[in-house]
Structure 1
Amino acid sequence: MAFDVPGSTRWTSNYSANITAFYTLFDGFGREARFNSAKSNEAQVEQSYVRTKQQIVYSVQNSYLNVLKFEQQVKVTEENLNKDKKLLERITEQHRVGALPIGDLYRQQSAVAQDEYNLIAAQNTYNKAKADLLSLIGVDVNEEYTIVDPSIAGQLTQVQSDPPVQSLGSFDDLRRRAFESRPDYSNATEAVRAAEHGITSAWSRYYPSVGANTSFSSGANEFSQLGKNKNYNLGLSVSWTLFDGFTTNQQIQSANVGKRNSELALQQTERQISVELKKALLDLEAARKQYDASQKALVSATQDRRVAEERYNLGSGTLLDLQVANTNLLSAQVTAVNNSYNYLIQKKNFELV
């Protein structure tokens, strides 16, 4: 006999919610070491940025002073050309009336041609230095810019009143001040600190790890009843790795090597700063002596040229004597310009060091 059983459908539902939190209470000071190492790394990046910015500023100042120096050389060369042109006009007129031989005319024409060549070379050097500066500061080198500095005359005048290099202090004192102010030295110091924290972090794996955990859970067949059935749990866990295949020991050895390398890098930085400081002092002292010597030579060359011109005008001197005196004066003027700006550049270099 067959019976018909009516079909039925039954739905069941279950809702649950879980929240779990875990906090490491102690991990052998590894967390603190990693945090301090990250701070040292951040300080390294900041110090590298500061040093890079200082070097860029010095490069711009150096290029800028070179532009002003070459501009002064153009002016000196141009003034010399104008003087020789005027002298050529006078010699030409005197030769026309028979007062001077043709040799003097040819000799002065040759001098003017040489002056024109020198002016072209000076202008080319100036234009290239200007292009280098414009490229360095990030502007279009094809645009026309006028480079001026109203304060440069005062800086050049102040050179004579600058104290001697010996008055800046002893080498040990200057080196100590350099260590305190140089960002690259701070960078190397922070690298050593970061390596020390790395060793602490590596050793932390030999210590047990202690953590606290808590959880909340709730379950119900109906969503509206979900929050009524609550369960809270609070626990404490301790884990300790007894053997990890010498991985921790290898990491400690690697961290020690890293620290040693950073210490060697710090020592190298100290030596580098010391030699840079020594060279900067030597260059600054030499630049000051060269400046003083060129100023004396300029005074002598100016007087020699004046005497040679007077003798030539009176007929007791030759054109060759005047041309030699004029060449010596031009050389003294160019040397004085070079040494003046070179002294300012060496001052900037000393400040950078």
Structure 2
Amino acid sequence: MHYIKIFTTILLVVIYHSGFSQDTLTKDSAVIFALENNYGIKVANNNVLRAKNNSSIYNSNYLPKVSANAGANYNNSNYDTEFQDGGSSTRDNALYNAYNASLAINYTLFDGFGRSYNYKILKETHKLSQLEARQIIENTLLQLFIGYYEVARLTEDELNLITFIEISENRLLRAKYNYDYGQKTKLDVLNAEVDLNNDKIKHRNIKKLLANSRHNLNFVLGRDVNIPFVVDTSITYTPALILEDLISRTKNDNVYLLQANKNIEISNFQIKVNKSGWLPTVGISGSYGYNKLMNDASFSIANSTVDGFSAGVNLSWNIFDGGLTKTRVQNARISVENSQILKEQTEQNLERDVRNAWEAYQNALFVLEAEGKNVETNKRNFSRSEEQYKLGQITSIDFRLAQINLLNAATNLNRAKFDTKIAELVLLQVSGQLLNAEF
């Protein structure tokens, strides 16, 4: 039981120093960092903003078009004119000034409902971009917690190994004492030294993996990869998951299926947009014009001013366009059919994915329970081996074997804990429940 006390003491010391040397990255703060700084999420949010701008009334052709024009001409000329009756006229620096300005407005009253359905397409495209952003957020959060729990797993593995290094150091010290007093051979000391060195090598490798895992997680968070931190290694599992309930929720909440439904809506609107080519277009227009002329060179009119309003209604009807509109409508209907086929394929894929994820989750739960029992068995075995080793009833090799078995069992349990949580998150993502999950 001496080594169990050592384990508890070292664990508290390591946690104490880790807590004061590095900031703790909680699960909630990790989610906030990712939502604010992850590069993929930033791009997705910008795409949503762009789609929102496109769905504005300013991009819908519902508003009139107003244009203004103005101009001015200036001419300074010298004239020397001879008439048929023998007379003549000379004018120097004769000015010709002309000014004009106009304001015009055009508005489409009716375009076969094409404008209306185009506007609806823009609105639905905005909603589709939100679903695409949600898809990226879900994928990013899953990637985030795979990385987060990898850091947590390696953190606990390191703590376990530190404990076993302490055990190996005590074993080496005992072997040296026994050798000095002639109770053991030099071989026992050498074996203890080799085992201690192997434990230290394992520890160094874990530190490398842990550092790389922190770098990877920082990258997902969209921040400097060298920022040090520790994580919360506790795990909360979602209770009472039911397969049939998850399959039912998938049909309503899975983001890929929601996108498929949205694409069908957009394709149906596209048919109506193309059908508008068979209907007439009616528009109105109005304008105001102002023209002023000052002409010193004219023999009849020296100055004139003209201004006034005009208005009109125009109708255009493309009675036959060579079959272009018919072709567009037919192709749009094919697009709707393809969207329906893709939706059915997505539904089948998702049911398969949910069932596969469920099997992986159930297997992870079984492994977790089995590894927990293995740890308890190996703890009892190690405790008994420790007592027998102190009494000289077993060799150092047997004691080392019990130590390795306990370390492997603890490592396997540690991996099983986090693998089970990841399997749960994958299951929740496929069923469309990830954003409601307790991480």
Shorter-chain TM-score above 0.5: yes
1:146 aligns with 2:229: yes
Which residue in 1 is equivalent to 2:19? Answer: none
Counterpart in 2 of 1:169? Answer: 242
Q: Does 1:130 align with 2:207?
A: no
- 8 A Cα contact 2:106 2:285, kept in partner: yes
SS at match of 1:168: coil
Q: Which of 98, 114, 119 is 2:198 aligned to?
A: 114
Higher strand share: 2
Q: 1:95 to 1:54 in 2, by over 3 A?
A: same
Counterpart of 2:322 in structure 1 is 245
* Alpha carbons 1:84, 1:112 under 8 Å: kept: yes
**Map of 1:300 onto structure 2:** 377
More displaced, 304-313 or 130-139?
Answer: 130-139
Q: 1:178 aligns with which of 231, 250, 253?
A: 250
| Number of aligned residues | 337
Match of 1:54 in 2: 138
How much does 1:293 deviate? 1.1
Q: 1:7 to 1:118 in 2, by over 3 A?
A: closer
Contact kept in structure 2, 1:44 and 1:190, CA below 8 Å:
yes
Q: What is the aligned partner in structure 2 of residue 43 from structure 1?
A: 127
Give 1:95's aligned residue.
179
- Counterparts of 1:176 and 1:281, CA distance in 2: 14
- Separation of aligned partners in 2, 1:118 and 1:340: 21
Q: Deviation at 1:16?
A: 6.1
Deviation at residue 13 of structure 1 after TM alignment: 7.3
Amino acid of the structure 2 residue aligned with 1:210: V
Deviations for 1:306-327, whole angstroms, at most 9, x for unmatched residues?
A: 1111122223223232121111
Query: Which whole-Å CA distance do the structure 1 matches of 2:263 and 2:368 have between them?
Result: 42
231 and 345 in structure 1: CA distance in 2 versus 1, 3 angstrom threshold: closer
> Aligned partners of 2:309 and 2:224: how far apart in 1?
72
Cα distance, 1:44 vs structure 2: 1.5
* Farther-moved stretch of structure 1 (128-137 vs 81-90): 128-137
For residue 178 of structure 2, give the secondary structure of its aligned residue in structure 1.
helix
* Identity of matched residues, %: 20
Relative distance call for 1:310 and 1:3 in structure 2 (3 A) is closer
Q: Does 1 or 2 have the higher relative contact order (CA < 8 Å, sep 6+)?
A: 1
Offset, 1:208: 2.3
Task: Give the match for residue 398 of structure 2.
Answer: 321
Q: Is the 8 A contact 1:16 1:226 kept in 2?
A: no
RMSD over aligned CA atoms reads 2.8
Could you tell me how far 1:218 is from its partner in structure 2? 6.0
- Mapped partners of 1:193, 1:5: distance in 2: 81
Distance 1:109 1:261, change over 3 A: same
Counterpart contact for 2:289–2:308, Cα < 8 Å: yes
Is residue 233 of structure 1 aligned with residue 305 of structure 2?
A: no
1:55 aligned partner, one-letter code: N
Say which of 48, 65, 73 aligns to 2:149: 65
Which of 343, 349, 352 aligns to 2:426? It is 349
Question: Is contact 1:214–1:232 with CA below 8 Å preserved after alignment?
Answer: yes
Query: CA deviation digits over 1:113-171, x for unaligned, max 9?
Result: 32222222222221221221223223333x3502232xx33x3xx55xx63xxx32342
Paired residues of 2:218 and 2:227 also in contact (CA < 8 A): no
Shift of 1:197: 1.0
| AA in 2 matched with 1:351 | L
What SS does the corresponding residue of 1:37 show, helix, strand or coil? helix
CA distance, structure 1, for counterparts of residue 304 and residue 364 of structure 2: 90
- Distance between the aligned counterparts of 2:135 and 2:381, measured in 1? 49
For 1:309, the equivalent position in structure 2 comes to 386
Give the deviation of 1:335 after TM superposition: 0.8
Tell me which residue corresponds to 2:21: none
Partners of 1:102 and 1:8 in 2: CA distance: 130
CA contact under 8 A between 2:243 and 2:358: conserved in structure 1? no
Superposed displacement of residue 220, structure 1: 6.8
**TM (normalized to structure 1)?**
0.84
- 1:32 pairs, out of 94, 97, 116, with 116
Question: Using the alignment, how far apart are the partners of 2:100 and 2:228 within structure 1?
Answer: 75
Greater helix share, structure number: 1
Instruction: Give the whole-Å Cα distance in 2 for the aligned partners of 1:119 and 1:221.
Output: 95
Among residues 239, 242, 258, which one is paired with 2:335 in the alignment? 258
CA contact (8 A) 1:19 1:215 kept: yes
Can you list the C-alpha shifts for 1:245-265, whole angstroms capped at 9, x where unaligned? Answer: 111122122222322332233
Amino acid paired to 2:168: D
